[in-house]
Amino acid sequence: MSQPTNLYGQPLGAALPDWQPRPQPQAVVLSGQYCRLEPLDAARHGRELFAAYASAPDDRDWTWLPVTRFCHEADYLAFARDCQHNPAYLHFAVIDLQTGRAVGTLALMRIEPQHGVMEVGFVIFSPQLKQTRMATEAHYLLMRYAFDTLGYRRYEWKCDSCNQPSRQAALRLGFQYEGTFRQALVYKGRSRDTCWYAVIDSEWPQLKQGFERWLATDNFSPDGTQRSRLQALREA
């Protein structure tokens, strides 16, 4: 397909004559098979989250976050209240449907309705959530909300270039690597190169089908072991 041009013969991007800004994400509840996302409420979720994070044997999950793990419940509750009321972020608590307890958080951020772009970030998963079906489903629920409900065009993931677990998670979830912004930030007294990843709306139907196949109960043995990998089901 030839690229559109203007009267000067200069190349242009694809025309969007009917484009309208997308709705602003709202503090909604998103329910799945294994977990539920609820708008973060420090009074309701804070103590459970502090206890879940405190169950980790060390602080390695906080190395590439802009904050360190909280030693005192009161400090974490104050942080959770700040997250809850920060208008630049929409934080969600991940609720384990088996226990009814909050076991982690993630957020929508850098939300630009006029362009149909948003980012998922501030992902803080406790040991009870990491590498579980709930963890994958939490990301699926937010992506489905962004693309199917709100009609966004682009969904981003950014991380410290040193954060190999985050980079691997982005690729596993179907994000495409787009490049590295060198010396993008200074935090915790060090320089950060930031890796950019994204999913766009034309890619979402195939990713959605892969997620739903992976999350199906028949994809897991009685002991909870996956039968097929997410990437394999996405590419099938």
> Over the stretch 51-75, which tens digit does the pLDDT of each residue have?
999 999 999 999 999 999 999 999 9
Number of domains in the chain: 1
What pLDDT is stored for residue 228 in this prediction?
98
Domain containing 132 — which CATH number?
3.40.630.30
pLDDT number for residue 1: 62
Q: Residue 13's pLDDT band (boundaries 50, 70, 90)?
A: very high
* Domain contains 13: no
Q: What is the mean pLDDT of residues 122-147?
A: 98
In a domain, residue 52? The reply is yes
Domain of residue 149, residue span: 30-235
Q: Which of these, 149, 147, 144, 168, lies nearest to 157 by C-alpha position?
A: 168
pTM over 0.75: yes
Q: Mean pLDDT across the stretch 86-90?
A: 97
Reported as a single tens digit per residue, the pLDDT across 189-220 is 999 999 999 999 999 999 999 999 999 999 99
Query: For residue 10, is it within any domain?
Result: no
Residues in contact with 129: Cβ distance below 8 Å, sequence separation at least 6, in sequence order: 52, 94, 96, 103, 104, 135, 138
pLDDT tens by residue, 213-230: 999 999 999 999 999 999
Average the pLDDT over 105-123 and give the result.
98
The answer to whether residue 51 is domain-embedded is yes
**Contact, 96 vs 35, CB < 8 A?**
yes
Would you state the pLDDT for residue 97? Answer: 98
* Rg (the chain; Cα; Å): 19
Please report whether residue 16 resides in a domain. no
Average pLDDT value for the chain = 97
Query: How many CB atoms within 10 Å of residue 161?
Result: 16
- For 143-183, the pLDDT digits (tens) are 999 999 999 999 999 999 999 999 999 999 999 999 999 99
Of 14-18, 138-142, 174-178, the one with minimum mean pLDDT is 14-18
- pLDDT of 103 strictly over 80: yes
The span from the CA of 1 to the CA of 32, in Å, is 40
Whether 5 is in a domain gets the answer: no
109: closest CA among 136, 142, 79, 131?
A: 142
Q: 1 versus 165: which is more confidently predicted? A: 165
Q: Is 12 part of a structural domain of the chain?
A: no
